[in-house]
Amino acid sequence: MSLLWQARFFTTVNHLRDLPKTQVPEIAFAGRSNAGKSTAINVLCNQKKLAFASKTPGRTQHINYFSIGGAHVGQHRKDETRVDEIRALLVDLPGYGYAEVSGSAKLHWQELLGDYVQRREQLAALILIVDSRRPFTELDIQMLEWFAPTGKPIHCLLTKSDKLNRNDSANALRTARTILGSYVDENGQPFPFTAQLFSSLKRSGLDEATDRIIDLLGLNEEVADESNDPTAGDV
C-alpha cells in the first residue's frame, strides 16, 4: 500500500497570503489544463474523487492541498495539535493554458503560480504533468524556467501514454528527456529534471511515479532519520 493512499483533502487557497503555515515538505502538481493532472492525482492516491477531474477544463483557479499522515486531520484542521501529525502535503495547482479564461483571471493564476513555485520554501519538488502527445508547450517551458533557478527537482509525467504506440511513446520520452536535459545552471550542470511515461487509464508508470514522489518528499527515509536526528524532516 502506498503512503499516497492516505491523502485527504486539507485546504483550498486563493491567495499566497493564505498558504498553510505547515512546515512539512510539499510536492506540487502543475500542468496544462486537460493534461490529465486531476486524474493522475486520483490514481496515485487510489481515490476516485480526491482531485476533481473534469470535462470542462479551466474551472479550478485555486490551489488545493491534500495531506499525508494524520488521516483524521481533514475534519479537525482548525485544531493545531492535529496538524502536527501531517507528514507531507500534495498540492494541486491551477491548470494553465485554458483558452477561455479571461485576461485578468489568467494574470491572477500566472502570478499565483509563478510566485508559489519560486518562493515557497516548503516546496520540495514539482511534478509536471504533460500530455505525451503535446509535450512542452510554451507554458510548460515557462514553468520550467520559473522553477529551474530554485535548483529543486522536477519529475515530469508524460500522461495518456495509452494513446501512443510503443514507438511513439519511446520517442516522446526521449524528446522530453532531451528538453529537460537542455537546462543547465551557470556551471553547465544539468538541473535535477527527470521524466517517465504515465497512463492513468492503464495505470502504467504508477509504481515509478509513486516511488519518485515518496522519495522527493523524503518519506522513505523518515524512520531511519528519526532514530538518529530528531530535527530530520524539518525544512
- Site of interaction with ligand GDP (CB under 6 A): 31, 33-39, 53-55, 57, 95, 159-160, 162-163, 199-201
Round to whole Å and give the CA distance between 211 and 215.
Answer: 6
Which of the choices Mg ion, ligand GDP, none does residue 94 contact, using the CB cut-off of 5 to 8 A by kind? Answer: none
| Side chain identity, residue 174 | R
C-alpha cell at 46: 487510489
Instruction: Tell me whether residue 8 or residue 32 sits nearer to ligand GDP (CB atom).
Output: 32
Residue 191 DSSP class: P
Q: Which is nearer to Mg ion, 116 or 191 (CB)?
A: 116
Q: Say if strands 88-92 and 63-68 run parallel, antiparallel, or are unpaired.
A: antiparallel
C-beta pairs of 227-233 under 8 Å, 24+ apart in sequence = 233/24, 233/25, 233/87
Choosing among Mg ion, ligand GDP, none, which partner's interface includes residue 70 (Cβ < 5 to 8 Å by kind)? none
Which set of grid coordinates corresponds to residue 149? 533557478
Minimum CB separation of residue 140 from Mg ion in Å reads: 16
Of ligand GDP, Mg ion, none, which one does residue 35 interact with (CB within 5 to 8 Å by kind)? ligand GDP
Least CB distance from residue 29 to ligand GDP, whole Å? Answer: 9
Minimum gap (Å) between residue 228 Cβ and ligand GDP: 40
Query: Which C-beta is closer to Mg ion: that of 37 or that of 155?
Result: 37
Q: Is the CB of 35 or the CB of 172 nearer to ligand GDP?
A: 35
Nearest-5° angle of CA 200, CA 158, CA 58? 75
Q: Which entry of Mg ion, ligand GDP, none binds 233, CB below 5 to 8 A by partner kind?
A: none
Closest CB 54 distance from Mg ion, rounded Å: 6
Binding stretches for Mg ion (CB under 5 A):
38
**CA-to-CA separations, 184 to 28, 137, 180, 181, 193, in angstroms, rounded:** 22, 19, 9, 7, 10
CB of 59 to ligand GDP, least distance (A): 9
Output the smallest distance, CB 188 to ligand GDP, in A. 34
Q: Which is nearer to ligand GDP, 38 or 67 (CB)?
A: 38
Pairwise CA distance, residues 21 & 17, whole Å: 10
Residue 200 contact among Mg ion, ligand GDP, none, beta carbon within 5 to 8 Å by kind: ligand GDP
Cβ burial 47-57 (10 Å sphere, 16+ → b, else e): beebbebeeeb
Distance between CA atoms of 124 and 154, rounded to whole angstroms? 9
d(CA 132, CA 158): 5
- Closer residue to Mg ion, CB minimum distance, 70 or 94: 94
